[in-house]
Amino acid sequence: MEQISSQVLVVGAGPGGYVAAIRAAQLGLDTIIVEGDRAGGTCLIRGCIPSKAIIHAAERFESLKAHQSGHMGLKVSGDVSIDMPALVDWKNKIVDKLNKGVEALLKANGVRLITGWATFLDGKTCNVTDSDGNNIAHISTENVILATGSKSIELPFMPYDEENIISSTGALDLEELPEKIAVIGGGYIGLELGCALRKLGVEITVIEGLDTVVSIFDAEIRRPLERWLKKNKVKVHTNCLAQGAEISSDGVELSWKNKDGDLVSETFGKVLVTVGRKANTNGWGLEEMGVKMDESGRFVAVDSQCKTNMRGIYAIGDLIGEPLLAHKASAQGEMVAEIIAGKKRAFEPVAIPAIVFTEPEIVSVGLSPDEATALGEEIIIGKFPLAANSRALTLEAEKTGGFVRVIARESDHLILGIQAVGSHVAELSGAFVVALEMGAVLEDIAGTIQAHPTMSEAFHEGVLKTLGHAIHTM
């Protein structure tokens, strides 16, 4: 067993861990990163990136089918079909390319990547085992950055077998599309995959325990998505709880209680369970490190610098709680590396953007109207429809009934939040975040010149609408 010492040990090479390791090495710190799977983490290997590849392919397939009728004057003759093994292979090639890219970045910056599973003996030492359980390294370090991420929550009465009862990971590797899929959980993961699978021709039924799907957003933001689901014959059952599943030669018989308390059963080709994610806190020695959990008992407790209660031990990303987003983890990883190197930093963002890649896409940055009002803010709101944006029309983005909504404080016009819903609006999130982080007031954005024709004009017009003088809408 190799004996290794380092200044910084990062556990987990996801979007938080590998960014932390690279930044630490850039700052001259001797850095080691340990990863049990492939570098890139859940987001790159089995989450954000492969799902967006499948979503893009589904959009292309839907577009080709539309051209069978001569849409836009473009005519596709003959049948349009799906080769799922080829689609999955294309998706995997994207993942492989990015995985190798991350490994190359680690190497180029002088970070040593050790493939194996770290088990901590105390706060500053761990053993690393390979996939066969052999001890391959003993590491002692001055600083630890815990970036172990999260995993899909499994229903105890409906465990994953990735054949009939599948997780989001299994949904991204389907070699054959069943006729019908039930999605348990109407959050962003379930609906992103549900929308994509529906575009690929699968009948989708969503079982959601709450009153609405994607309940993290208010009714106005949800409405265009709900319209798309209805138009595309996605069955949505809210206030319903899954009860169990029986697997047979005919498929998976799923049972759930409806809002009236009655037991309902239906047979599906597969059942996709997307009821949330939980932090990876077990099996690697968290207790031996003496690190405390937060009040919920689900996440590691940290301060504004991602410091745990133990000196020299930091935790970032999904391990420390909501929002469970890759870009939050990356920002925290970079910050922690700089703190270890002696720089003054704290994690105090004005806003962390949340994006859902459903049809249509949803973006939220900062406060919603309800959240702002709950904080005692007197607000003004402006909403600009994509149907009045020329670039949106050329992209057919107006068909979703989407819009940009701006929330500002009435007294000084400070922008408190921006939301958008519609096709292609995810790319507007950068401008929204910059506006909030820079402390922009409405007049700052109103005074900018946006290129024409672009979707960014919708943000500008949303601000003008908030001020009461939008040009291109009533």
| Whole-angstrom distance, CA of residue 62 vs CA of residue 295 | 46
Domain boundary among the residues 340, 373, 391 is at: 340
Q: Provide mean pLDDT across the span 168-175.
A: 95
Domain ends where: 315, 340, 365? 340
379-385 sheet: strands from edge to edge = 354-356, 361-366, 415-422, 403-409, 379-385
Return the pLDDT at 460: 97
CA angle, corner 40, sides to 282 and 131, nearest 5? 55
For residues 89 and 218, state if they share a domain: no
In a domain, 472, yes or no: no
When pLDDT is averaged across residues 95-120 and rounded to a whole number, the result is: 97
Res 397 pLDDT > 90: no
Place of tokens 């473009």: 74
214 and 293 fall within a common domain: no
CA 420 to chain centre: 17
Residue whose structure tokens are 């930044």: 23
- Give pLDDT tens digits for 273-318: 999 999 999 999 999 999 999 999 999 999 999 999 999 999 999 9
Torsion sign across C-alpha atoms 330, 354, 51, 36: positive
Domain boundary, last residue among 275, 290, 315: 275
Residues 114 and 227 grouped into a single domain: no
pLDDT at 1 over 90: no
How far is residue 252's CA from residue 58's CA, in Å, rounded to a whole number? Answer: 25
Q: How confident is the model at residue 244 (pLDDT cuts 50, 70, 90)?
A: very high
Q: What is the mean pLDDT of residues 465-474?
A: 91
pLDDT at 127 over 80: yes
Backbone angles phi, psi at 119, to 5 degrees: -125, 120
Q: How many CB atoms lie within 10 A of CB 461?
A: 24
Residue type, 173: D
CA 31 to mean position of chain CA atoms: 28
Cβ–Cβ < 8 Å for 289, 143 = no
Check pLDDT > 90 for residue 337: yes
- Helix H or strand E encompassing 44: helix 41-46
The answer to whether residue 393 is domain-embedded is yes
Number of domains in the chain: 3
Cβ proximity of 27 and 7 under 8 Å: no
Mean pLDDT of 357-366: 97
Q: Residue 103 has which token pair?
A: 């490994």
Q: Could you tell me if 139 and 285 lie in one domain?
A: yes
- Give the per-residue pLDDT at 474: 75
- What is the average pLDDT across 82-91? 96
- Give residue 379's pLDDT: 98
Range of 133's domain? 2-151+279-340
Q: For residue 374, give the CATH number of its domain.
A: 3.30.390.30
Strand, coil or helix: what is 124?
Answer: coil
Examine the domain organization and report whether 211 and 266 are in the same domain: yes
The whole-angstrom distance between residue 22's C-alpha and the CA centroid of its chain comes to 22
Does residue 459 lie in a domain region? yes
Whether 176 and 143 share a structural domain: no
| One domain for residues 289 and 271 | no
Task: Output the CA–CA distances (angstroms, integers) from residue 33 to 6, 17, 22, in the order listed.
Answer: 10, 8, 10
Q: Does residue 471 sit within a domain?
A: no
Q: Find, among 456, 473, 354, the residue nearest to 395 by Cα.
A: 456
Together in a domain, 138 and 212: no
Q: Are residues 181 and 328 in the same domain?
A: no
* pLDDT tens-place string over residues 253-278: 999 999 999 999 999 999 999 999 99
> How confident is the model at residue 400, as a pLDDT?
86
The whole-angstrom separation of Cα 43 and Cα 329 is: 11
Residue 160 in any domain: the answer is: no
**Has 460 been annotated as catalytic?**
no
Residues 6 or more apart whose Cβ sits within 8 Å of residue 281: 148, 293, 298, 299, 300, 319
The contacts of residue 224 (CB under 8 Å, 6+ apart) are: 360, 400, 401, 402, 421, 422
**DSSP 8-state secondary structure symbol assigned to residue 2:** E
Largest pairwise CA distance in the chain: 72
Joined together, the tokens standing for residue 107 give 């190497």
Strand order in the sheet with 235-237: 165-166, 270-273, 180-184, 203-207, 235-237
Q: Looking at the DSSP assignment, which residues form a beta bridge with residue 242?
A: 256
Query: Can you read off the two tokens belonging to residue 300?
Result: 């590691």
433 plus 285 within the same structural domain: no
Backbone angles phi, psi at 381, to 5 degrees: -130, 140
Tell me, yes or no, whether 285 and 207 share the same domain.
no
pLDDT band at 398 (very low <50, low <70, confident <90, very high): confident
Q: Annotated catalytic residue: which of 67, 138, 413, 452?
A: 452
Quick one: tokens of 341?
Answer: 């190197």
- The mean predicted confidence, pLDDT, of the chain is 96
**Average pLDDT score over residue span 102-117:** 97
User: How far apart are alpha carbons 181 and 210 in whole angstroms?
Assistant: 20
Q: What is the CATH number of the domain that holds 193?
A: 3.50.50.60
* Mean predicted confidence (pLDDT) in 73-86: 92
Which DSSP letter does residue 154 get?
A: P
Asked whether residue 347 is domain-assigned, the answer is: no
How high is the pLDDT of residue 447? 97
- Record the tokens describing residue 133, joined without a space: 């359980």
Judge whether 374 and 416 are in contact, CB under 8 Å: no
Secondary structure E strands in 147-288: 150-152, 165-166, 180-184, 203-207, 235-237, 241-248, 251-257, 263-268, 270-273, 277-279
Is residue 25 situated within a structural domain? yes
Distance CA 219, CA 176 (A): 35
Does the pLDDT at position 78 exceed 90? no
| CA gap 127, 139 in Å, rounded | 6
For 3-56, write each residue's pLDDT tens digit.
999 999 999 999 999 999 999 999 999 999 999 999 999 999 999 999 999 999
pLDDT band at residue 141 using 50, 70 and 90 as cut-offs:
very high
pLDDT digits (tens, 9 = 90+) for 413-447: 999 999 999 999 999 999 999 999 999 999 999 99
- Residue found under tokens 């890139």: 40
Residue 398 lies in a domain: yes
* Mean pLDDT across 92-113: 97
461 and 371, same structural domain?
A: yes
